[in-house]
Structure 1
Amino acid sequence: MPKGVTKRRPRTRAALLGAALEAFAEHGFHAASIEQICERAGYTRGAFYSNFSSKEELFLALFDEHSARIVARITELIDSVADQDLTLQGLVEILADVDPAERDWYLVTTEFTLHAIRDPQAAWVLAQHDARLRAEIARGLTEHLHRTGRTLTVDADALARLLIAIREGGLAQSYVEPDQLPPGQLERLFLAPLLAALSTEDDTTTGGPAAVL
């Protein structure tokens, strides 16, 4: 492949992803056309098909990009806190933070999930991407809880499923009633006692219980 094409490809892909997120959020996954996405991005259908085989593949690329960005942001925020200063409630505050731009992603991913429920092949593919995200959540949660002096007593993957359900269910209610339930409020109210109930205090090097809150 010519050097110029190689250098342009990441920019083309990024522009198509950004345009797709806007188009999906505004018109819906099914209603948004490849032509609309290309027009927003400033590229041709040929550029689209040189990067993605379908709108489904494009969505899944958005899913992976969004997942990586969220995990990286949370990890960076938690890692910026010294071990001795990281408490369970402090961890929850970071996990409960919701960027205002998350609303668009919620609209897009919810519609695609409904599509996947109706389409077994789409469901199978989405499940693979969900599983990779859950693995990252489970790994990170285990490590971050350990920094607060606690060890999970339940399966980390199952807990990741529960946390995702709380997050997505809470956001659905928040976007319908934003004045009654600000995004992240359910996590701030209930996540710390939930995590405390599903974990146990570690012993410190001196044999005593670790401080949690």
Structure 2
Amino acid sequence: MASSAEAKTSATRVTRRRAETRDRLLTAAYEAFSEEGFGRATVERVCERAGFTRGAFYSNFGSLDELFLAMWEQRSAAMLAEVRRTLDEIPVGTDDVRTSIERLERAVPVDEAWYRITAEFTTHALRNPELRRVMAAREEAIVNALMPTIVAGLARVGRTVPDPDALGQALVAVHDGTSVQVLMEPRSRVVRRRRTDLIYHVVLAYSTETEG
């Protein structure tokens, strides 16, 4: 009979192997969705890219929809961590609002491949009421997780946010809308400067100078 230590080691190996399989499937799916399109990608194509069988796929994900949501969660967690790291590095009273926004933009870059994937999946979700609700709830959760960091970052530069939810929705709208413009004219400094200007004015509109 295996000892408890041996059983624990075996379980750890299984968990690590499962995590590695899951990561390889997520990477393969990202490539497939980006290059072929979400609507054209299949479980077979994802498995082929990852070097696994359909069994490996279905032991980790119930569908391509579920896989995309896992990918979204993974990328959102990485983005939140980078935003927190970036804004936490702002020394109190040193940056102005615009400089802080430029820091934030570097932490959340416009990624063409990811934009193509999310745009196609959003269109897909709009045709599925249940999936639409799931996406709306997840986006709300991401904004709720992000806003305390944004509010704290603005406090470091002397701004108070009366309604974080409203600012969060406005920032998402600006980011999504201006991302298209940046991707259409990736070499245009004017487009990027106007994007920063718009974010700056939105932040000013939804925040006030801290008293005292």
TM-score by structure 1 length?
Answer: 0.87
The equivalent residue for 1:128 is: 137
The equivalent residue for 1:211 is: none
| CA 124–181 in structure 1, closer or farther in 2 if over 3 Å, else same | farther
SS at match of 2:160: strand
SS at match of 2:186: coil
Matches within 5 A, 1:146-185: 146-153=155-162, 155-180=163-188, 184-185=192-193
The equivalent residue for 1:45 is: 54
Structure 1, unmatched stretches of 5+, are 205-213
Residues of 2 paired with 1:26 and 1:130: CA distance? 24
Matches within 5 A, 1:53-202: 53-97=62-106, 99=109, 102-153=111-162, 155-180=163-188, 184-202=192-210
* Paired residues of 1:71 and 1:137 also in contact (CA < 8 A): yes
The equivalent residue for 1:210 is: none
* Paired residues of 1:96 and 1:185 also in contact (CA < 8 A): no
CA offsets per residue over residues 119-145 of structure 1, 9 Å max, x none? 111101111111111102222221111
TM-score by structure 2 length?
Answer: 0.87
Give the counterpart letter for 1:10 in structure 2. A
| CA 163–184 in structure 1, closer or farther in 2 if over 3 Å, else same | farther
Counterpart of 1:29 (choices 38, 56, 78) is 38
The equivalent residue for 1:20 is: 29
Residues of 2 paired with 1:183 and 1:65: CA distance? 29
| CA 164–186 in structure 1, closer or farther in 2 if over 3 Å, else same | farther
CA offsets per residue over residues 148-185 of structure 1, 9 Å max, x none? 111113x2122211111111111112212223467753
Could you tell me how far 1:18 is from its partner in structure 2? 0.8
| CA 7–48 in structure 1, closer or farther in 2 if over 3 Å, else same | same
Residues of 1 paired with 2:58 and 2:191: CA distance? 37
* Structure number having the greater helix percentage: 2
Residues of 2 paired with 1:183 and 1:121: CA distance? 36
Percent sequence identity over aligned pairs: 38
Alignment size in residue pairs: 202
SS at match of 1:85: coil
Residues of 2 paired with 1:142 and 1:165: CA distance? 18
